[in-house]
Structure 1
Amino acid sequence: SGALVQFRINGHLITPDFTISEADKEIVVNRIKSLAEMDTAQSHVAADGNFSLNDIEFRVNTYPCGETYGEKVDIRLQDSKNNLKRLEDIGFSEADLNTMKDIVMLPYGIVLMTGPTGQGKSTTLYACLRERGCEDNVIVSAEDPVEQRIDGATQSPIKVNTENEKLSWTFEKAIRAMMRQDPDVILIGEIRDKPTAKAAIQASQTGHLVFTTLHTRSAIGSVQRMIDIGVDRNSFLAEMDAIISQRLVAINCPYCLQRVESKYNRLLRDKDLARLEEGRYSYKSNGCDKCSHTGMAEKRLPIVEIIKFSNELRDFFSEKRGLNETEAFLRKRGYRSLWDKGMDLVVEKKLSLDELCSVLTPDEEIGMASDTEGAGED
């Protein structure tokens, strides 16, 4: 018995050969909560907090597990001094990097970053703000929480007061207030509801470039997700500049590559199998001293799909569309999915098929879209 300790490194869960004893478990948990300025007496509800030590930011979240097991504590570490990356440092392909730089310099509109938690969305958005620069731009943000401080930017943490709603500092209130700060660029941590979405659209309509995130699995599904939130379709489409969906993948260690036949081969389409060596072999690192026997390079790389909006695309989305119909339309205009780009890395031996399939599911064959297809899925 006792507390199990685990580390998530490059997206993979690693369990070291030690635990915290039952006698010390509550002492350790309460010490962490005290450092994070959290109420140690409240163990029956989830809570968030943070603290800094030696320029490392510790973001703490607790989750109640009942009287028998106490609390689960999750700690996320960030280098508060050196973690603000440039777009060039993140690892985009040359084509995607150039597209991102073009998007960053747009004068107004909405740029949506989508993807699950922990896929580097915030890091990419901060890099976009750094690319735009604070020397010639007023940059204002509303975030929950502020993950990194940007020199010259005005950043505000969202605070919810459950006892008195009037004292809450919400995304909607922050957006309306920041309009009086005469910003050029706005960062909204996340669109969660209709009021926030409407405020973001209004901010764009008055001549601001708005960066924000939305939790959807794909770029294609993001339009319908915004509509489902309750915003006016035409108002939203008129302001839409780009949707960027991102995943992070662990790259093969180049020193211990081995040719393998992946168990995931059976999931691939014929055209994907044809890209593998002899129609079945790909590469995976087995682990060595160079990579501390993890099989992974030190840095994960992003895979991104980017949809830039044109008037033609806005007209297309002016009516409800199915996912297959949308993808077929975009592919005729050069669109490549997350899976397509991931397979490029597999063919280049940078990425194992196992790793790709742990993050994404293979694209389906695109057929004729039916009128009843579920356009609201993402």
Structure 2
Amino acid sequence: MSNLNKNDLPTLLVTGGAGFIGANFVLQVRKFKWANIVNLDKLTYASNLQNLAELQDDTNYYFIQGDVNNSELLSYLLEKYQPDAIINFAAETHVDRSIISPHNFIQTNIVGTFELLEASKAYWQKLTSPKKEKFRFLHISTDEVYGSLSSTDPAFREDTPYAPNSPYSASKAAADHLVRSYYHTYNLPTLTTNCSNNYGPLQFPEKLIPLTILNALNGKSLPIYGDGQNIRDWLYVRDHCDAIYLVLIEGCIGETYNICGMNEQTNLVVVEKICAILDKLAPKDNFQYSSLISFIKDRPGHDRRYGIDCSKISKNLGWKPKENFDVGLLKTVQWYLNNSAWVDSVCTGTYQGWIKQNYETR
């Protein structure tokens, strides 16, 4: 038995716990002593063990580098650590990368979820009461599986038909369907959450908000696709982590819960707000950061609007986002300003090559 069983806390096996949302969740769980953590992460380009450096002396946190496609490793970890729940964050998540190179998205998001479900089913079926009744498999997904909305369409609900428009969202939709099928076919006690766009500390700078912050600070162009009027709902990552934990402990098995920030903004407005914050926090003489904004050719299949109706989780579980977008964005910009060493460590030559490939040829 592992050294994580020194206390009476439950043990969670978290996959993808060194990435942006996963790391924030792991840090929150250990900060509030909600559970012990076993973190399985492949350590791809978007993962970073520096995200979890403060846990290096935590004896109730354990890290394993590995792939969710490795069925033998999954079985070994489940047997060794006997987790009370599995939370699957492991995923390739960047739409632009999925357009250029979809293979990794199919392998990790679909096949990896399948392998994790298979290993979880075999483990769960051997458990005895009451551990078997308490076990949960929580799958973290995205609002992008629902497709695109017009400016006047009602927001996505949990019963909105799936209509993914990119290889990324299609791979997540397929994974969601697999999770659903394991509940209905095998009675595996699954839960699924579909969230809107996350922002906050530790986000890899290929996504809009950190990319804008870092490009602006370095005097580089701030690329905006198309006319900049694409709309996203923005969810502060720590609000998301609170919601995930609430679903884990109080959610009804077999159910899906949409999680939103109640903050729909156009991409252009988001970039302009970042520029205004930087004008105050990192001013330059006779210069406004908004002068760096440039409009580039839209990406293929670019969804116009995402909006989420999260009344189900609000009504059934009592959750609502706490963070106001303007305050959360200010906190996020300040975090990147305060953590230049982290930024330098992730902005490698490989990252710079990707930025050039994706943006400079449009």
TM beyond 0.5: no
Structure ranking higher on relative contact order (CA contacts 8 Å, 6+ apart): 2
Q: TM-score range by the shorter chain?
A: 0.3 to 0.5
Name the one with the larger strand percent.
1
The two structures have a TM-score, normalised by structure 2, of 0.35
Name the one with the larger helix percent.
2
The two structures have a TM-score, normalised by structure 1, of 0.34
Structure whose alpha-carbon radius of gyration is higher: 1
